[in-house]
Chains A and B, each alone.
Chain A
Amino acid sequence: QQPVQSPQAVILREGEDAVINCSSSKALYSVHWYRQKHGEAPVFLMILLKGGEQKGHDKISASFNEKKQQSSLYLTASQLSYSGTYFCGTEISYNDYKLSFGAGTTVTVRA
């Protein structure tokens, strides 16, 4: 069952912040975040596991609210290189082996 991402698209100026949300109707074991630039493969950003901590990667960080079955990705002080489509992927259990992806959020950062 695919998670739901919001918003579908966001436009930022350099230096602005943004939040991308990912929600599931089922309890989750893990949440992955990936970024894909046009014509390229998705690139792994970070993974959050049930019972784990908030993660960070440069000025991009994420949180995982297990009770609400939600994760949020925070883009702080955005740079031009942050442009791309961000996907969350979710697993419902350790033995599930099926990572389901959301439809993606397109982020455009302008100078």
Chain B
Amino acid sequence: NAGVTQTPKFQVLKTGQSMTLQCAQDMNHEYMSWYRQDPGMGLRLIHYSVGAGITDQGEVPNGYNVSRSTTEDFPLRLLSAAPSQTSVYFCASSFYRGTREGYTFGSGTRLTVV
């Protein structure tokens, strides 16, 4: 039982390049989300999904796209990387129907844009 798996763990991009951060969970969670973490700012929500085919924007969606074609996978795409997107990115998932449960986080992707 792997939980939430994120790849890659580290990535360096040049300004203007695009890439996809992968996130997969094997807990049959309906809810998945992407956060970025910057020093002193906590975790900020980028995009989230409440099920396959359903996505919505969080607090800081600009420059990022998501899709959810399956329950298990929720990739995050950076369209044209900028230095301001240098951050640590976390994917999280949870059950959401009925009562609330806590989030399970992936181990993170540390992204540097130069």
Contacts and interface: CB of A to CB of B under 8 A. Distances in A.
Interface residues of B, number: 26
Interface stretch (A10-18, A58-66, A93-101): A93-101
Contacts of B45: 98-100
Contact of B108 (A41, A89, A91, A101): A41
Contacts of B42: 2, 87, 101-104
A97 B31 contact: yes
A49 interface: yes
Contact of A101 (B43, B99, B106, B107): B43
A56 B100 CA distance: 17
Contacts of B50: 97
B103 interface: yes
B43 A98 contact: no
A42 interface: yes
Interface in A25-62: 30, 32, 34, 40-47, 49
B9 to A, nearest CB: 11
Contacts of A104: 42
Central interface residue in A41, A46, A101, by most chain B CB within 10 Å:
A41
A56 B60 CA distance: 33
A41 B105 contact: yes
Given A47-B101, A49-B100, A103-B41, A97 B90 contact: no
Contact of A44 (B31, B44, B48, B103): B103
B53 interface: no
A101 B44 contact: yes
Central interface residue in B44, B58, B105, by most chain A CB within 10 Å:
B105
A103 B43 CA distance: 7
A34 B104 CA distance: 10
Central interface residue in B99, B102, B106, by most chain A CB within 10 Å:
B102
Central interface residue in B33, B45, B107, by most chain A CB within 10 Å:
B45
A43 B100 contact: no
A106 to B, nearest CB: 10
Across the A-B interface, the 9 shortest Cβ-Cβ residue pairs? A44-B102, A41-B105, A101-B43, A101-B42, A103-B42, A42-B105, A41-B107, A30-B100, A47-B102
